[in-house]
Structure 1
């Protein structure tokens, strides 16, 4: 996974926006959708920024949206998906085998603690 990959999550919604151009974001032009990914740079670029990137780093191979399945998953998307729906301040890191449910530490404390002590079915993921 690229350490510098970016995405954004709208405040107050569950919508995860698409990949954001790192070059535009660095210039405080937030929100420009990325159309290319450079594996060598581990950066995302919009159509405008990829042209300059190509001129400066001609030996780099960029991957377009037609091959988006080869792009890394954005760290912010991973963080969003691992955040508990009920307890937004906690990450999901456990699975209750009895309830077949993903849990954060607060979920375990609130809803699964008796299961934990009586059956020991909580599995840390």
Structure 2
């Protein structure tokens, strides 16, 4: 999975950048929205950076925003979804069948101690 795909919000702006161009980020740390994803490189590219990539690596498969369903989920989004809402320093790893709740180890100790739990996996 690509590592620098992250959500960001520019200060003073209402624009949310859901994926950041890795090439721009490598060159000058500018948070430019990505418009393409390269499957082989596992990197995101803006409209400007995709041209040199396409010329150098013509056989690579790239997906534009119209095919965003083929892009990987952002690591920051995955980390956010796996983090407990109550205990921010713990990851969710179990399911309480009785309460129909996803739980972290601290939730289990605090609220689900005497309930049968199932290990939960995102993968």
Q: How does 1:60-99 map to 2 (within 5 A)?
A: 60-99=60-99
1:15-72 deviation digits (Å, cap 9, x = unpaired): x840111111222424211100011111110111111111211222211000101111
- Residues 9 and 33 (structure 1 numbering): CA distance in 2 closer, same or farther, change over 3 Å? closer
Structure 1: runs of 5+ lacking an equivalent = 11-15
Q: How does 1:41-56 map to 2 (within 5 A)?
A: 41-56=41-56
Query: TM (normalized to structure 1)?
Result: 0.82
8 Å contact 2:8–2:18 — kept in the other structure? no
Query: TM (normalized to structure 2)?
Result: 0.83
The runs of at least 4 aligned residues of structure 1 exceeding 6 Å deviation read: none
- Residues 24 and 81 (structure 1 numbering): CA distance in 2 closer, same or farther, change over 3 Å? same
- Residues 69 and 100 (structure 1 numbering): CA distance in 2 closer, same or farther, change over 3 Å? same
8 Å contact 1:5–1:42 — kept in the other structure? no
Secondary structure at 1:27's aligned position in 2? helix
Structure 2: runs of 5+ lacking an equivalent = 10-15
Q: How does 1:1-125 map to 2 (within 5 A)?
A: 2-8=1-7, 17-113=17-113, 115-116=114-115, 121-125=116-120
Cα separation, 2, equivalents of 1:9 and 1:95: 30
Q: Which moved more, 1:90-99 or 1:20-29?
A: 20-29
